Amino acid sequence: MNKPKQVSRGPDLRQLLRERIAACRTVEELNDRVISPFVQEVEAACRERGYIINIYGEQSNLAFTGDEQSAEEIYALIEDYLDARQAAGDDA
């Protein structure tokens, strides 16, 4: 009797990310080697499935709009919001 082939789950993603993040010496390297590739793969998976995604984290959000123009506008909105929030904090 043949045993069913076991599928290797591979290393834990959290551990892999932790190791790759630790290897990055600058924020630019972190962005280039970890964050951007991860986001690009999430975008590709969403695009292939027709998903619109907005992931809420404890201290960050990831939004996928599906088109470059919307992404730029959302980025500008977030930057404006953060600038206004910082200015309000400076006035306090």
Q: What is the pLDDT of residue 23?
A: 97
CA 24 to chain CA centroid, Å, is: 16
Q: What is the pLDDT of residue 28?
A: 94
pTM > 0.95: yes or no:
no
DSSP single-letter state for residue 26: S
Q: What is the pLDDT along the chain (92 residues), one digit of tens a residue?
A: 566 666 667 779 899 999 999 999 999 999 999 999 998 898 888 889 888 777 777 787 777 777 778 888 888 888 899 899 999 987 65
- Three-state SS for 55? strand
Burial 11-50 (b: 16+ CB within 10 A, else e): eeeeeeeeeeeeeeeeeeebeeebeeeeeeeebeeeeeee
54 φ/ψ angles, rounded to the nearest 5 degrees: -140, 105
